[in-house]
Structures are given as C-alpha cells and as structure tokens.
Amino acid sequence: MNPNNTSGARHPALSIVIPMYNEEANISRLFSRLFPVLQGLGETWEVVCINDGSRDSTLELLEKESRERKGLVVVNLARNFGQHAAVMAGFSQARGKWIITMDADLQNPPEEIPKIVEQFRKGHDLVGSIRKVRHDSCFRRTASRITNRLITKISGISLKDFGCMLRGYSREVVRGILENPEYRTFIPALATFFARNPVEIQVEHEERAAGQSKYSILKLLSLQLDLMTGFSMWPLRILFFVGSIVALLGLASALLIIVMRILYGPEWAAQGVFTLFAGLFFLVGCQFFALGLLGEYIGRIFQAVRKRPPFILDWVKRS
Ligand code: UDP
Ligand code: MG
C-alpha cells in the first residue's frame, strides 16, 4: 500500500469530479493515470464519477473499480442530463475543500492536477485553465475562438477559454453554484460570478483517448445559446434597438412621402401606393419596437426567476 495514499477520508481536501457518458473505453486508462497523481499529492482526496445515463458498460466498470479502489465515489444519474448537469450532481456529492472538474476522455491530463492544487494553496478560490495547444478539430477550434470572444463581449465575463473543463473551484464557489440551481447553465461562466480571487493557468490538452466526442454541432449550438441567454440580455436588447431604428426610418420616410405628395401632387405618389408604403414602414417599425419592449420585460422576468443573488457578501464588521 502506498504510504501517500490518503484516500477515502470523510472530509477530503480534494474532490475530483468527472462526468461520464459512454466512456467505457477510457475508464481504466484514466484511473491508471489519475490515481497515482492523487497518491503523490500529499493531500486527502476522493474521486467522484458521475454516470450520466450511459448506454454502454460505464456503470458496471465504475462499480467494479469502486470495489477495488478506495476513495472512489460513484454517482449514478437516472438518465442522460448532459455534461453540466452531471457536473452539478457531482458537486452535490463532493465533500472536498477544493473541487476539480475534468473530462473522462483524458483530453485533460491528470498530471496537471498538482498545478491547480498549487493555486488553491496560494489562496485562489477559482482556478481556470487555458489550453496551450488544443487537440480538437479545426472546426471546433475556430468555433471556440469566435464564441469565446463573442461571449466575453456580451456577457462581460472575461475568461480566456470557456471550453476547458479542467478547472478548480473552492467549496464556497461550489456552494454558490449549488444554491442557484439553474436548469441550463454553463458552470465555468457561472463560477466566475461567485469567485473572489480567480486565476487562470495554462494546461496541456491531449487528443481524446478513445470513443467519440459527445457533442454534435447541434449540441454545441445549444450550449452557446445557453451561455448567451443565460448570462446576458443583449440578444433581447438588439431587438429593441433594431425596432427603434426601423420605426424611426419608417416615420422619416412617411414624412418624406407626405411632403413630396403635397409638393408634386397625387401623380407623384402613384395614386396613394407610396402613402400606403409609408404607413406600412411605420407600422412594421412600431411592431419591432413593441416586440423589443416586450422582450425587455421578459428579460427581467427571466432574471427574477433565475434567482441569482444580487450580491454575495464577503464579510460584515460592526462596532
Ligand atoms: N459528458 C456527459 N454527458 C453528456 C455528454 C458528455 O457526462 O451528455 C461527459 C463526457 O463523458 C466527457 C465530458 O462530458 O467526460 C466531455 O465530453 P466530450 O469529451 O464528448 O466533449 P468534447 O471534449 O468533445 O468537448
Ligand atoms: Mg473531450
């Protein structure tokens, strides 16, 4: 038995949270790299694996491993809920003071974990990661670059790399995330809201060890939409601005047509057709404007039902 193996503690220092969906081909390879790293850390730890409704033998393999290894927590979800929901479930079961999320496909090398722990020891409560060289398809890389920029612009959250899941969260940050169970959310972005002392470090990124990416283009798009609508009201506001501009243009052209009609008579206005157009422009503009206004209210309702706290207290001092 390794003397540094301090797994299985009731309140470990570190929890590793790994969502798994059809990852049977990666589990043993992942564990054979992950556990030695943890054993060399000099901290107590646990590994929380969430089976996200896999249809292969992921769950059986996890159960088999848990009989043979100490410090493994297996969480089984009722069906497939998606990566972020699975991570949330993992958070709800993790007991560590520090919590690190990673993927099961070895794209996030376990050997990078000590770097994150080092940042925790320095007092950071959120450790983000930036992939040095990404081993993903060209399409995924370009799409990521564009969305990272776009999201930073519209949500005001500045993360260099939203996609990398090898991240560390302190207990407090995780508590904040769990107390705001938003149905469809994006954990790395939400975490920045609760962090007091975040830091971003560079990590290695590898190719998927086995199996296929669980993200189709459609799923990726839906994730981007979650990010955009979950963290910003800009899409709704755009409607409002476009509406205002169209309404103004409509009004201006209506006025112009009326003036021209007065100056040049009914022949110029093609027997009323132009006037009809002018009215139409104006009405269409008004419709956009009204939609935008509605959107603004819906946005406010949306913010209210999300129940995110308007502030997070650090401490209070009274004398
Ligand atoms: N995953 C999950 N539920 C899902 C999809 C994915 O738990 O519905 C897990 C998957 O097993 C992996 C991680 O989320 O551990 C990242 O998935 P994947 O590698 O397919 O994403 P990519 O690296 O292509 O972004
Ligand atoms: Mg992957």
For residue 240, report the phi and psi dihedrals to the nearest 5 degrees. Answer: -65, -45
Q: Is residue 8 part of a domain?
A: no
Q: How confident is the model at residue 4 (pLDDT cuts 50, 70, 90)?
A: very low
Work out which ligand 1 atom sits closest to the CA atom of 163: 25
Spatial contact of 110 and 32, defined as CB atoms under 8 Å apart: no
Q: How far is the C-alpha of 265 from the C-alpha of 271, rounded, in Å?
A: 9
Q: Are residues 153 and 74 in the same domain?
A: yes
Q: Is residue 166 part of a domain?
A: yes
Q: Are residues 72 and 187 in the same domain?
A: yes
Domain count, the chain: 2
Q: Which ligand is nearest to the CA of 81?
A: 1
Which one, of 129, 280, 144, lies nearest residue 203 by Cα? 129
Mutation test of ligand 1: which of 214, 220, 224 has the most ligand atoms closer than 8 Å to its C-beta?
A: 214
User: Ligand 1 centroid to 49 CA: how many Å?
Assistant: 13
Average pLDDT, stretch 254-267? 81
Q: Which ligand is nearest to the CA of 102?
A: 1
User: Ligand 1 centroid to 150 CA: how many Å?
Assistant: 23
CATH code for the domain in which residue 95 is found? 3.90.550.10
Q: How confident is the model at residue 2 (pLDDT cuts 50, 70, 90)?
A: very low
Q: Is residue 253 part of a domain?
A: yes
CB neighbour list of residue 19: distance below 8 Å, 6 or more residues apart? 50, 52, 83, 86, 87, 90, 101, 103, 104
Residues of 117-141 as b/e, b for ≥16 C-beta within 10 angstroms? Answer: bebbeeebbbbbbebeebebeeebe
User: Ligand 1 centroid to 83 CA: how many Å?
Assistant: 6
Q: Are residues 49 and 135 in the same domain?
A: yes
Instruction: Using the predicted structure, report yes or no on whether residue 90 has a pLDDT greater than 60.
Output: yes
pLDDT of residue 17: 97
User: Ligand 1 centroid to 57 CA: how many Å?
Assistant: 16
Instruction: Using the predicted structure, report yes or no on whether residue 123 has a pLDDT greater than 80.
Output: yes
Give the range of the structural domain holding residue 299, as residue numbers without chain letter: 234-306
Q: Are residues 45 and 133 in the same domain?
A: yes
Average pLDDT, stretch 283-290? 82
* Residue whose CA is at the smallest distance from ligand 1 atom 13: 103
Of all residues in the chain, the percent with pLDDT exceeding 90 is 37
Work out which ligand 1 atom sits closest to the CA atom of 102: 15
Average pLDDT, stretch 180-203? 82
pLDDT of residue 46: 95
* Residue whose CA is at the smallest distance from ligand 1 atom 8: 82
Residue list, ligand 1 pocket, CB within 6 Å: 19-21, 23, 52, 80, 82-83, 86, 103-105, 107, 208, 213-215
What is the overall mean pLDDT for the chain?
84
Q: Are residues 206 and 225 in the same domain?
A: yes
Comparing 20-34, 132-146, 189-203, the range with the smallest average pLDDT is 132-146
Q: Is residue 75 part of a domain?
A: yes
Q: Are residues 91 and 240 in the same domain?
A: no
Three-state DSSP class for residue 195: coil
Structure tokens at 49: 């694996």
User: Ligand 1 centroid to 104 CA: how many Å?
Assistant: 7
Mutation test of ligand 1: which of 103, 137, 212 has the most ligand atoms closer than 8 Å to its C-beta?
A: 103
> What global pTM score does this model have?
0.77
Average pLDDT, stretch 165-174? 94
* Residue whose CA is at the smallest distance from ligand 1 atom 6: 83
To which residue do tokens 């560590």 refer? 96
pLDDT of residue 1: 39
User: Ligand 1 centroid to 212 CA: how many Å?
Assistant: 9
What is the DSSP code string of 42-96?
SS-EEEEEEE-S-SSSHHHHHHHHHHH-SSEEEEE-SS---HHHHHHHHHHH---
Q: Are residues 153 and 281 in the same domain?
A: no
User: Where is pLDDT greater, at 206 or 1?
Assistant: 206
Q: Are residues 80 and 153 in the same domain?
A: yes
Instruction: Using the predicted structure, report yes or no on whether residue 318 has a pLDDT greater than 70.
Output: no
Which one, of 199, 39, 187, lies nearest residue 119 by Cα? 199
Q: Is residue 294 part of a domain?
A: yes
Of the spans 103-112, 146-155, 228-237, which averages the highest pLDDT?
A: 103-112
User: Ligand 1 centroid to 293 CA: how many Å?
Assistant: 38
Q: Are residues 42 and 110 in the same domain?
A: yes
To which residue do tokens 């390879």 refer? 29
Q: pLDDT tens, 35-81?
A: 999 999 999 999 999 999 999 999 999 999 999 998 999 999 988 88
pLDDT of residue 7: 58
Q: Is residue 238 part of a domain?
A: yes
Q: Is residue 2 part of a domain?
A: no
Q: Is residue 213 part of a domain?
A: yes
Q: Are residues 220 and 248 in the same domain?
A: no
Instruction: Using the predicted structure, report yes or no on whether residue 28 has a pLDDT greater than 50.
Output: yes
pLDDT of residue 40: 94
User: Where is pLDDT greater, at 125 or 277?
Assistant: 125
Q: Are residues 248 and 198 in the same domain?
A: no
Structure tokens at 255: 């006025």
Q: Are residues 158 and 225 in the same domain?
A: yes
